[in-house]
Structure 1
Amino acid sequence: MDHTKLQHKNVLITGAAGGLGTELCFAFGSKGASIIAVDISLEKLESLQSQLKDNNIDCGVFLMDITDKSKCQETMAEIEKKYDSIDIVIHNAGISHRSPFIDTKLDVLHNVLDVNVIGAINLTHYTLPSVIKSKGTFIALSSVAGFAPLYGRTAYSASKHALHGFFETLRSEVEEYGVHVMLVYPSFIKTAIVQNALSGDGKKPLNQIKTVGNVLTPDYVAACIVKGALKNKKRMYISPISKSSLWLSRFAPNMYSKIMKKKVMAEFANK
């Protein structure tokens, strides 16, 4: 595996100041890439930049709300003035919720879809010309919920299914230009997206999350993503749970649903 392929490449990462985002910055930066860190918290971005600098990783930080298309466009124009290319765009930013649809306010559902889907589409739109020019790569963080149901996460699952459809179709349109598109399907990851998940009323849930299988660490997932990017993988199913869920949901969907509900519905037993 040729790690030198990432040297002097410019890698834009959304949600860069979060758990997985930070590990992605270190994972790609340690291979010689320059990091373009995007997030909605300037304080966290500046802290991230300092950590990366201490590890001799070049990093520029940019405040961006990817759901605001005009701000997204303005910030990308600023980034493109500073960097002569955008080689890899990693759609890592995302939020979740834990609440049955019947108990969830529409504003919560719309918020999840805005960040996870509209934000990714906005950024792809404004980075596509640069990525085509560099024959670069788009990487989108999906989930097992991107190809199978997940009880109590209707909007989250819908958003990840939407990312699957969007990026699979985008690949068919841009691969002729030499652009690669990789979708990543991990199982549960130990990141703040769990603690920051919204309940049906938009507050933090009181019920404890029920995970299936071992919880993946952000550094492990980030390392897998780097390997996948170097190999120009189209899809990555990280963890045995992700791989078994793919086949079970595809060939025995009723059985998959029964097992999943038995595991996950316990979160909501005391509601």
Structure 2
Amino acid sequence: MSNKSLGALDGQVVVVTGAARGVGALLARKLAAHGARLALVGLEPAELAEVAEEVGGASWEADVTDREAMARIAGEISERYGRIDVVVANAGIATGGPFLASDAAAFDRVIEVNLLGSVATARAFLPALVASRGYYLQIASLAAITPAPMMAAYCASKAGVEAFAHSLRAEVGYQGVKVGVGYLSWTDTDMVRGADQDDVLRELRARLPWPANRTYPLAPAVDRIVAGIARRAPHVYAQWWLRGMQSVRGYLPSVIGTVGQREMRRAEPRLRETADVRRGLVGAGGQADEAARKAPKPS
């Protein structure tokens, strides 16, 4: 995308959730480099404040599933900046492993944060976007297109947010609000690095067909997301080949159902032996979510 097109970001007030690290943090930096004004929301207040200071923005600590907190923050951001032009619902966590061996609380928390957290984000910020005729970008994943064994919670949550965003587009488009869905494959973030600490999961991923079997660098992926925000695109693909997946997605459940059975049968002994290592959420972001929920609540 040309610098002229990216100039559309100059002066835009952009809210990014899950902005303390990974995609959200780098997205904030790159948007700020094109003149956007940033409002960052998430856990990990020290890391969040550091990113906010770097980009000349402001930060708000919140669990995105807390509807009251998100509504309050939306009001505070509107009051501080006078408007909100773009919201990127990026906050997300993950867990991996066989469903029957999964920790039920961690499994449910993935659905809660990724899906219901996105719903709470939209509920809080859409009124401001209606007022500004703005843009809402829902970060989904290749997991929304491609079901996969050992990723039931993540796939279900990302398929859910994709459908949610498509529904919103039909509802609010006549009010001038554009809604987009962002798709990423395996990208070099703390979440993916955390998942790769599990030897069995890492080896299973390496057996996926090209190009889904590699980890992609973060910066080019975020550049594509920035370009999508600038043009308020209905679909944003962080890796070039993901667009082509849309045309074959109807065939994937049958193919993966067949191939997945073979891979699961092969991996089952090692999965059983190492079941204890994959309890809970993966990566630093998952650990931050667990720590925040265990922390004593203010009276």
Q: TM-score range by the shorter chain?
A: 0.7 to 0.9
Q: How many angstroms apart in 1 are the aligned matches of 2:250 and 2:15?
A: 33
Q: Deviations over 1:109-164 (max 9, x none)?
A: 21001110111111110111100111110111111111221110111111011101
Secondary structure of 2:162's aligned partner: helix
1:11 to 2:31 alignment: no
Q: Deviations over 1:88-121 (max 9, x none)?
A: 1001110011111111122112100111011111
User: Hey, what's the Cα distance between the residues in 2 that align with 1:249 and 1:260?
Assistant: 16
Go from structure 1 to structure 2 and tell me whether the alpha carbon gap of 1:17 and 1:208 turns closer, same or farther (over 3 Å shift): same
CA distance in 2, matches of 1:83, 1:149: 40
What's the counterpart of residue 235 of structure 1? 235
- Percent identical residues: 24
1:41-190 pair list within 5 angstroms = 41-52=44-55, 58-190=56-188
Relative to the length of structure 2, the TM-score reads 0.80
Structure 1 regions of 5+ residues with no counterpart? Answer: 53-57, 199-203
Contact 1:88–1:131 (Cα < 8 Å) also in 2 = yes
Q: Which amino acid aligns with 2:246?
A: L
- Which has the larger helix fraction? 2
Please report the RMSD computed on the Cα atoms of aligned residues, expressed in angstroms. 2.4
Could you tell me which residue of structure 1 aligns to residue 222 of structure 2?
Answer: 222
What amino acid is aligned across from residue 10 of structure 2 in structure 1? Q
> Contact (CA 8 Å) 1:249, 1:256: kept in 2 or not?
no
Question: Per-residue deviation at 1:223?
Answer: 0.6
Comparing 243-252 with 8-17, greater Cα deviation is found at 243-252
* Structure-2 separation of matches of 1:60 and 1:77: 14
> 8 Å contact 1:208–1:267 — kept in the other structure?
no
Structure 1 length-normalised TM: 0.87
SS of equivalent to 2:14: strand
1:173–1:61 Cα change, 3 Å: same
CA distance in 1 between partners of 2:244 and 2:214 (Å): 13
Deviation sequence 1:25-80 (CA, Å, 0-9, x none): 1121111000111111111012212333xxxxx31111111111122222222222
User: How many residues were matched structurally?
Assistant: 261
Alpha carbons of 1:71 and 1:232: their partners in 2 closer, same or farther (altered >3 Å)?
Answer: closer
Helix, strand or coil at the partner of 1:270: helix
Does the 8 Å CA contact 2:146/2:252 hold for their aligned counterparts?
no
